[in-house]
Amino acid sequence: MINTGISHLQTSDQEQLRIADKRLAAAKTPAEKIKQKEILADLLEQNGLHDESRILWNELVQTHQDNLYQAMCLRKMTQSFLNQRDHESAAAKAELALKMIRQTSITSQEEKTEYFQILNQSCFAFYFCLQPDKVEACVKDLRKLLSSVNDVAQQIDFYFSVSLYFLMKYRWYQLPEEAVSHSQFYMHLAKQSDDPTTIAMAVTGCGFVHLWREEITESRKFFTEAIEILGEKNYGFLMICYTYMGIGYRMQNNVSMTELWSKMTIEKAEKTGNKVYLAISNANMSWVYATRKNWLYAEDYARKSFDFLMKASVLYYLSIFPLLDALLQKNNTNEAGKYVFFLLHPKAKKLPLLLTEKIKTFTSEWANDHTTELNELLHAIIDEAKTSGYY
């Protein structure tokens, strides 16, 4: 089955897959077939053949009646969707995995460990699907199970899930002290592992916490550390660090450094086809052009990035403020109203109170079609955004 679609892989990987495939074909007993199928499914997943891997896990799920085993297969399929960045399908599968594992008694160590892993994975899927209630429910259950888990890697996963919970609960704004101490403990634990990506992830997590507490200089130390750990090995992760370095400089009104980091991110994002970080960096570039009063470019970059971010990221405000300024230059307050209204979305990143109040005042006038003061109110929003560092 795997002779097609593997030609892009390295010879050794191709060979490994062929061997696994042959072993599956040669397996005689049902137990042996299951074992070989599991090995092949994992190998396919590791080599980026997600669809093929899920086909095998789906076959395995259907041939078993055991809830624990079925839950494990569903977890593998969830992971496969996550690896493919199909978060919605991952969340749907995670729901099924949770339902299945909850049909067991969750008393044996095996069941508890499986449940723990499913909960961690579910947190990740629900986080990216912006489902805070579900993330919170998972973290609540994870906390109950933590004492029964001894494996350090799984404990690290737990702290990662709790980090996501904090970010979501506070809507990426003014995270509490508790989040700082939690992220430090997460980093401490991760540093006990040998995996640079795990360590970089935890260090980046600390950077996030400080960034969204508006402790920009502190956050920069962590992002720099993560970049050093990764070297040039993991483009996906590097892009995250580069992007948030850019956002930090933008919050500090440092035009040249924002431009530098944004351009570096764009270069990597274009190479890897990562649309989210490309859009965020384009939003940063629109800010760069807006601060230089190059309105034509500012509007163009802002619109392009907004069209993508409005569907994909809670950080779409990064495109909106330069766009609002460009629209203000053209006295187009009616169109600006659409973007201002969208800034009040309850699931997007929270903005400072004073800025939110000004946004609400504008929105109320705009929604009621009271046009006389819109220009002035929009001006007030932009001024407040500049003062607070969210422009």
Partner 1 sequence: MNILITILHENRAIAETLKWSIEFAAEKNTICEIAADEETVRTETNLLLADLVSFNSLYQQEHQPGCLVLLLTTNIIDDLQLAEALYAGIDAIADISEGPGIALAKIKNLLENKPDETQQLLLKVIQSIRGKDKKPIPYTDYGLTRKEKDILKLLSEANPVKQIAHLTNTSYETVRTHVKNIYKKIGVASSSEAVIKAIKMDLT
Question: How large is the C-alpha radius of gyration of the chain?
Answer: 24
Q: Are 64 and 70 in contact (CB under 8 A)?
A: yes
Specify the residue, 9 or 92, whose C-beta has the smaller distance to partner 1. 92
Q: Longest Cα pair distance anywhere in the chain, in angstroms?
A: 81
Q: Which is nearer to partner 1, 23 or 360 (CB)?
A: 360
Can you tell me which of 66, 331, 347, 373 binds partner 1, judged by CB under 8 A?
A: 347
Closer to partner 1 by Cβ: residue 18 or 347: 347
**Region binding partner 1 by CB under 8 A among candidate stretches 44-52, 62-70, 236-244, 331-339:** 331-339
User: For partner 1, how many residues bind (rule: CB under 8 A)?
Assistant: 27
C-alpha–C-alpha distance, residues 81 and 50, integer Å = 7
Nearer to partner 1, 116 or 308 (CB): 308
Distance CA 148, CA 264 (A): 44
Considering the rule CB under 8 A, would residue 378 count as an interface residue with partner 1?
Answer: no
- C-alpha 224/C-alpha 5 separation (Å) is 38
What is the signed CA dihedral for 257, 258, 263, 265, rounded to 10 degrees? 110
In the chain, alpha helices (H): 11-26, 30-46, 50-62, 67-83, 87-101, 109-128, 132-145, 152-169, 177-190, 196-211, 216-230, 235-251, 255-272, 275-291, 295-312, 317-329, 333-342, 353-367, 374-388
Q: Cα–Cα distance between 256 and 262 in angstroms, integer?
A: 10
Alpha carbon 96 to its chain's center: 22
Residue whose CB is less far from partner 1, 295 or 342: 342
The yes or no reply on residue 310 touching partner 1 (CB under 8 A) is yes
Q: Which of 334, 354, 373, 387 binds partner 1 (CB under 8 A)?
A: 334
Token reading at 141: 């259950």
Residue 346 sits in the site that holds partner 1 (CB under 8 A): yes
Query: Binding string to partner 1 for residues 86 to 125, with x set by CB under 8 A, is what?
Result: --xx--x---------------------------------
Site string for partner 1, 119-158 (x = CB under 8 A): ----------xx----------------------------
State which residue, 293 or 338, has the beta carbon closest to partner 1: 338
Interacting residues of 22 by C-beta distance below 8 A, sequence separation 6+: none
Which of 107, 147, 256, 368: binder of partner 1 (CB under 8 A)? 368
Q: Which is nearer to partner 1, 97 or 229 (CB)?
A: 97
- Alpha-carbon distances, residue 150 vs 109, 115, 124, 177, 197 (angstroms): 11, 14, 21, 27, 21
Residue of 162, 302, 348, 381 interacting with partner 1 (CB under 8 A) = 348
> Closest approach of Cβ 384 to partner 1, in Å?
16
Give the length of the chain: 391
Q: How many C-beta atoms surround the C-beta of residue 122 within 10 A? A: 28
Nearest approach, Cβ of 354 to partner 1 (angstroms)? Answer: 16
Closest distance to partner 1 from the beta carbon of 343 (Å): 8
Contacting residue, 177, 194, 232, 369, with partner 1 by CB under 8 A: 369
Contacts of 335 (CB under 8 A, 6+ apart): 327
Among 62, 109, 364, 387, binds partner 1 (CB under 8 A): 364
Query: Is 351 a residue that touches partner 1 (CB under 8 A)?
Result: no
Nearer to partner 1, 67 or 361 (CB): 361
Interface residue with partner 1 among 367, 371, 376, 383 (CB under 8 A) is 367
Whether residue 320 contacts residue 359, with contact meaning beta carbons closer than 8 Å, is answered with no
168 binds partner 1 (CB under 8 A): no
Q: 171's torsion region: left (phi>0), alpha (psi -120 to 50) or beta? A: left
Residues contributing to the site for partner 1 (CB under 8 A): 88-89, 92, 129-130, 310-311, 334-335, 337-339, 341-348, 359-360, 363-364, 367-369
